[in-house]
Amino acid sequence: MSDMSVICLKDYKKCGFEVESCELYFELFEEFVIVTNTMEINKLDAQEKHIKLDSQELELLEVYLNDLKLNDTRYDIQEESFTVYNVPNSFSLKIKNKLYPQNNTELEGLYKSGSIFCTQNEPEGFRRITPYLDRPDIMSVFTTTIVADKERYPVLLGNGNKQSSHDLADGRHEVTWFDPHPKPSYLFAIVAGDLGVISDEFITASQTKVELNIYCDKGAESKCFFAMKSLKDAMIWDEQKYGREYDLDVYNIVAVDSFNMGAMENKGLNIFNSHYVLADEDKATDADFMGIQSVIAHEYFHNWTGNRITCCDWFELTLKEGLTVFRDQCFSADLNSQEVQRIEDVKGLRERQFVEDASPMAHPIQPDSYISINNFYTSTVYEKGAEVIRMLHTLLGESRFREAMDLYFKTFDGRAVRTGDFLWAMSEVDKEKRVDFTQFKRWYHQSGTPILEVKDSFCDGVYTLDLKQVVPNKVDEIKQEPFYFPLKVGLIGSDGKEIKEEMLVVSKEEESFVFEGLEAKPYLSINRGFSAPIIIKQEKNEYAFLMKHDKDSFVKYESAQSFALETTEKLMESAELDAEFLNSFGYVLDLDVELSYKALLLELPSISSLMQRQKVVDFTPIYKAKERLEREIATEFKEKLLDIYRLHHKPKNKELDTVSVGERALKNRALRLLSSLESREVIDLAYKQYQESLTMTDRVVALDVLENITSHEGGLALDDFYERYKDDTLVMNKYFSIIAASQREGVLLRVIASQDDEVYDKRVPNLVRSLVGVFAKNYKYFHAADGSGYAFVADKIIEIDKINAQMASGLASAFKIYNRLNQNNKNLIKKELECVISTHSLSKNTYEIISKILK
């Protein structure tokens, strides 16, 4: 069994050594790789006699200390460490070891994605390459030489700038890269392959030329142009918005098919899941393009927030991730639509982070312990982390925030620091001491989503807001303290005119705010722009009014969502459909606003958001009510929806400008709403759209609509889709997802059968996520009353855990809503998870998730 020990934040100890430089020599062969690692090391703590390096599953060949070969009495290799005894104050340590990247299915360390050698070292992959002080506070200067067969691997890439290259005997060649910027080992990377490339250049603000390359499988070059444009947009944005320039001669990006996550910010050599690089209108949806733009930017922004200034230990992960997500969200908002971006970000936060925060897996953005750090690349650390930064931005204001960021970069450049250091920079610029940073810090150490109960009253021209914060207990039932946050509110007159907007600062468990000199009781617009990541509970809601009159685009959306949520909940108790809701929906249908925004206003609440509001979750009534609401809306507004569809359906338009994207979003929203009628007319519309549209956006929506309403046309379209795209794995992910998310009967059997499809490969994370991962989010069938969905996913966890533990623990987290479910579903899950956790040699990743759920 793996080591299940718990690592704690409080146990951090500075390392007794530093690595001044690290020279790596990689000899790549088809069956194995030889790594020679030469480090110049200094002792910082005279008490340290022996040096203990991290090392995982390594085959040691030779060890030299100051050029003297050591015999095996001078060192010791264990499963997870390598120790050299009695080392002097300064020494050179050379270690030669052997690896088998071809057999590496965990996709950590050095591995093969198809025929490409590549690496993934964050957080602890480097120890699978060579023994090292594999912790982020050990920063060193790396030189990398790669030697390989020139015909098979003409492209050899490393971090930093290329220093030299030359041909060797036997058709081999070698390339040396030097990275002048000291960095932790998690940012180290190499790539070797026979790759296609597109190249460009960027001139920085200080007139330095940077070579830009995007590498991919040969033949896919034409799908890299959008990524290249996004990279250049990100480079300009970071210069203009934060004064940050790029700092090497070259910026390389490599797209690979087998990758555990989205992408990785290795210094000067980003490695990407090909999903976030490759796109053209025929094969990628508008959402895919947006994803590429934001992930390319995210990795680029890490060059300053992550690489130049990194984390002291992994408990500080949000220091780089929360901040970088905030930066990429602002970038996407600046380039596209502020209002749509904010809503999409909040939607994502609620679907993923709020659910996590209400589960046994809840943790603060700065966790205090972990078994496997791989499990903490979570929505909480990333997305809630970004919300915390956003609150600081709101509290300080744009220019003060920028001043604080400048100070942060100036003070900590080249160092591994803590969130406390970041907050210090923020507090330094707050000359007037407007922000209570001591209390604000609770966001870093407390978990759970606070609920704000709101009551209001009006008397003699004075409007009073009474607020009460309900802060959930920690997972272990320890009580938590009230949070400190900005709450943007607006007051609106009954004529619909804005009276005032104010940013309140909420800090107490209970407090009141008064607004004087008002003629009548105003309408309240609360948490504008979602200024704090909280849940608002109001006694009386004025949704219809706010949907009409609020100038805040977020609250307008929020009101439409909340109105629909409450209406659906009433339908669960089989009440009549609220006529005022229908009126408001009709009002939005006629609104003349930006089209993508309108599509969001017309979106009905997800199953997840309905589920989150139930005390004891039973999915059947949720589904029934949602389906009924959709049908009633489609019946009532059929003609209007058809008009919208006809007006905006432009099958030959494949442009990516705001209007074209908006038209597709809106008319596809209309089509989806109409699909609940399951009529011949709608089937014909969808089938025609499937056949005639030039974009993947239109094709997948049509395919999904057909799949869910008719086996005949659905089957025809699905077969056609398969034939058209079976050679393109990225597109086949969509095919598997449509099957796995289907609401039609017999889904589980189809998912099981899909595993035998020649395109499917359980070693490729994207495919596993598309089939098994999407099935585990198909609430109707994953939570089937006979337990079949749970049994299937549990089996897959056991099977995939042996291949790729990170993938398996990702799947396991689908069970995190366990404690919210009704007794029948709980019993079924318990049985399955007990079986998984008792599996022989289960990984610590999966063990950690399941043990938390079962606790």
Alpha carbons within 13 angstroms on the beta-carbon side of residue 85 total 8
Residue selected from 119, 120, 375, 446 as contacting ligand 0A1 according to rule CB under 6 A: 120
d(CA 23, CA 142): 6
CA torsion, ordered 536, 542, 545, 551, to nearest 10 deg? -20
d(CA 572, CA 553): 29
Q: Mask of contacts with ligand 0A1, 140-169, x by CB under 6 A?
A: ------------------------------
Residue selected from 84, 95, 195, 263 as contacting ligand 0A1 according to rule CB under 6 A: 263
Q: Mask of contacts with Zn ion, 2-31, x by CB under 5 A?
A: ------------------------------
Whether the Cβ atoms of residue 281 and residue 652 lie closer than 8 Å to each other: no
**Spatial CA neighbour of 828 closest among 789, 772, 797:** 789
**Shortest Å, Cβ 325 to Zn ion:** 7
Does position 383 bind ligand 0A1 by CB under 6 A?
Answer: no
Starting at the edge strand that comes first in sequence, how are the strands of the sheet with 523-526 ordered? 498-506, 485-492, 523-526
- What is the distance between the terminal CA atoms of the chain, rounded to a whole angstrom? 20
**Running DSSP on this structure, what letter comes out for residue 250?**
E
Residue selected from 147, 264, 706, 741 as contacting ligand 0A1 according to rule CB under 6 A: 264
d(CA 392, CA 436): 11
340 three-class SS: helix
CA torsion, ordered 398, 400, 404, 407, to nearest 10 deg? 120
Binder of residue 377, out of ligand 0A1, Zn ion, none (CB less than 5 to 8 A by kind): ligand 0A1
Within positions 510 to 529, which residues make up the interface with ligand 0A1, using CB under 6 A?
A: none
Q: What residue number has its CB nearest to ligand 0A1?
A: 261
Distant-in-sequence, close-in-space partners of 721: CB < 8 Å, separation ≥ 6: 699, 703, 735
Strands 90-99 and 59-65: antiparallel
Give the residue numbers annotated as catalytic, written as ranges.
299
**Running DSSP on this structure, what letter comes out for residue 532?**
S
d(CA 636, CA 639): 8
DSSP letters, 776-818, are TT-HHHHT-TTSHHHHHHHHHHHHHHTT-HHHHHHHHGGGGGG
Taking CB under 5 A as the binding criterion, the range among 209-217, 317-325, 560-568, 834-842 that sits at the site for Zn ion is 317-325
**Shortest Å, Cβ 299 to ligand 0A1:** 6
**Shortest Å, Cβ 125 to ligand 0A1:** 7
Does position 707 bind ligand 0A1 by CB under 6 A?
Answer: no
Does position 387 bind ligand 0A1 by CB under 6 A?
Answer: no
Token readout for 548 is 């009409």
Partners of 217 in the beta sheet?
A: 195
- Which of residues 41 and 264 has its CB atom nearest to Zn ion in the complex? 264
Binder of residue 675, out of Zn ion, ligand 0A1, none (CB less than 5 to 8 A by kind): none
**Shortest Å, Cβ 763 to ligand 0A1:** 16
Q: Mask of contacts with Zn ion, 232-251, x by CB under 5 A?
A: --------------------
Say how many residues touch ligand 0A1, by CB under 6 A. 15
Taking CB under 5 A as the binding criterion, the range among 182-190, 320-328, 630-638, 731-739 that sits at the site for Zn ion is 320-328
**Shortest Å, Cβ 306 to Zn ion:** 6
Taking CB under 6 A as the binding criterion, the range among 261-269, 731-739, 807-815, 847-855 that sits at the site for ligand 0A1 is 261-269
d(CA 119, CA 157): 11
Residue selected from 106, 217, 321, 698 as contacting ligand 0A1 according to rule CB under 6 A: 321
Residue selected from 106, 122, 217, 351 as contacting ligand 0A1 according to rule CB under 6 A: 122
How much helix, strand and coil, in percent to the nearest 5, is found in the chain?
Answer: 45, 25, 30
In Å, how far from its chain's centre is CA 85?
42
Residue selected from 260, 266, 294, 559 as contacting ligand 0A1 according to rule CB under 6 A: 260
Binder of residue 729, out of ligand 0A1, Zn ion, none (CB less than 5 to 8 A by kind): none
Residue selected from 85, 91, 245, 262 as contacting ligand 0A1 according to rule CB under 6 A: 262
Token readout for 575 is 């009440």
- Which of residues 298 and 844 has its CB atom nearest to ligand 0A1 in the complex? 298
Residues at the site binding Zn ion, with contacts judged by CB under 5 A? 321, 324
Binding site for ligand 0A1 (CB under 6 A): 108, 120, 122, 260-265, 298-299, 321, 374, 377, 806
